[in-house]
Structure 1
Amino acid sequence: MTTSNSQTSQPLWKSFLNPGWAIAAILAIAFSWFAITWLSPWQLNKDHDIKERNQRIEAAFEADPVDVSTILASGYTPSKEWTRVTMTGHYNPDSEILLRLRPVDGTPAFQSLVAFTLDSGDTILVNRGWVPAAEGGTRVPPLDPVPTGNTTLSAMLRTSDPATGTAPLEDQGFTMVQAIDTAHIAELTSQDLVSPYAQLLSDQPGVLNPIPLPMLDRGNHLSYGLQWIAFGIMAPAGLAYFIYSEIRERRRYRDEQREMESLTSTSGDSAAGPPDESAPSTTPAPAAPARARYGQSRKNPWAEKGPKGF
């Protein structure tokens, strides 16, 4: 048959010039690029940041606290976050702001933020800690007032949250925000706040429930990052394997068809006897039977029987 001959004589690479293989190649390449370029660095960067944070926290508790004015005078940078500091001054109770929608250990909570004026003249925002929200997580429970007069506090410096652009909420007699953005809170309280804020440690004057420190483990971010790299490599490798399998199967199919054509031609010549060269040829050569390229299809045994199996 001409169809069989055209299939076996067609170059193998032309069999992959169809929409199915093109879409598979595009998807494999796109997934590999996205996994290696975006997903893997995202997880590896998180692992790097957590590792640096844990090292800063461990170093902070191995070293003695320093006066906060020393750090502010030299210029605060995010690399100094989690440094333990001492500060002397007084609270400004009229500047209290509540942080909402920031659960603590899975518990709906409100956090109290109050400006603290240092003896040096600078004003820093102090996170006094948290209280569990009442009445289903919507009501502010009674808050202990801040102490009056001069006091000395021990805290850890924290970097201000990025601006969210969310307007503050006036509710239950408090001004509430969704981020500890010192620049935004400075506008709300009319206080000239420095860029970092201080997170009170336990047993300090004015503290509520102290904010728990992060767990000093790195989590699974490193393994996730390596897994995304592996997935990015496996996608094109899997496509290459399927292409190789397809080429191997097509070559085997082509070789079998050629062998079957040769056997059919030999069998036809022997059965017809010696050819008469003077007589014109009117009977075409018998076509070689073609098999299914991916194995024999199953037959339904019940289709060959009569009604009710007879």
Structure 2
Amino acid sequence: MTSTVGRPVGVLLREWRERRRLSQLELSSRAEVSTRHLSFVETGRSRPTPELILRLTEQLDVPLRERNQVLLAGGYAPAYPQHGLDAPALAGVRAALRRVLDGHQPYPALVLNRWWEVQDANAALGVMTAGCAARLLAPPVNALRLSLHPDGLAPRIANLAQWRGRLLAQLQHRVERTGDPRLRALHAELLGYAGDDVQAPPPTARADDVVVPLRLRDGAAELSLFSISAAVETAADVTVDELVIECFYPADDDTAARLRALAVSPGAAPAGPAAR
């Protein structure tokens, strides 16, 4: 998470406003507070109430984890709980995620946290992870590292430059949204995996593509997959707020048939990684 130790609440609010590229006038209008008062808060001349902090961070689309940090910097208790995914309070969320994972068979699906660490997955993910180095499959499995590492999926990805560009763009967007140093370090690590074959601009999509697919070699065949991501939009818990479920779908009939065949072939696809 972003380090806020010893930093004034006004400084943090100003940094979030600047990260969102908003002027004081724009933010004050959205939060229904005077520009003068917002200026006083940012410079430390006025201490914001917890209600004002929550209103400002809501308008700034600050993630729940960082909202708690801003509250702590202002001398207030965190407003959002953070339960472990295995906590009784999250039983309903876990059950819902598991239903999605199971119902998505025979296609791969996984649950990721803020740092792209796999929290759960269905058995069909094994089709994608087959052949990856054991150390990359040891919990907590990082899906981005697994995808782009030379000992992971990378050698099997036919359109590696294109897929790598997509993943790095997603990661960079989250770095900018959260300011999280762990994500920034992950981005730097993944950039270091690049070889000469992926330094050129990513190739354009094929003429018949309507999505950017993951083209994954599977023996003599090639699986063509695209993904749809979903999150809990009404999350009031930090852990739940950071969960994303990513479901892969076949981009063509051959891939759909191949995945269905693997699902009914005993031992054809090892179970996907899970952190729990």
Q: Give the TM interval when normalised to the shorter protein.
A: under 0.3
User: When you count strand as a share of all residues, which structure comes out higher?
Assistant: 1
TM-score with structure 1 length normalisation?
0.22
User: When you count helix as a share of all residues, which structure comes out higher?
Assistant: 2
